[in-house]
Structure 1
Amino acid sequence: MRDEGEAYAERLKEAGVSVEAKRYDGMIHGFFWMPGVLEQGRESIEQAANALKRVFQGSVASK
């Protein structure tokens, strides 16, 4: 799944889509849902939330 996700991110970049991809080595599938147990889970949620904030702020600014 990791390789497929990274390949998908690369294809999106090639198509001109803004992409932010980060590999969390050593993590199990579903670690995103474990922020209280795994620091990387908390980090990944922060990364996703920050990316969404940037996009939403940009969409409000462009109106």
Structure 2
Amino acid sequence: MIGEKYKNYTINVYWRDSDFGFRFRIYNAENSLVYESSEAYFYDYNATKAAKEAIDDLEVSE
């Protein structure tokens, strides 16, 4: 899987035409989907930043 690695998770940022924005998915080390964004972001780097914040929140809740 191609994507940015962050704290043993993989972040996949993708464009969604219906939202006119970027969304993200977060996968664990076994490449299982653990989180998907519910909102779109205007810039890909904003989606990446939100994904990193979501990972930080996931780790706190574990």
Same fold (TM > 0.5) = no
TM-score by length of 2: 0.34
User: Which protein is bigger by CA-based radius of gyration?
Assistant: 1
TM-score by length of 1: 0.33
Specify which structure has the bigger relative contact order, considering alpha-carbon pairs within 8 angstroms and separated by 6 or more residues. 2
Task: Decide which structure has greater strand share.
Answer: 2
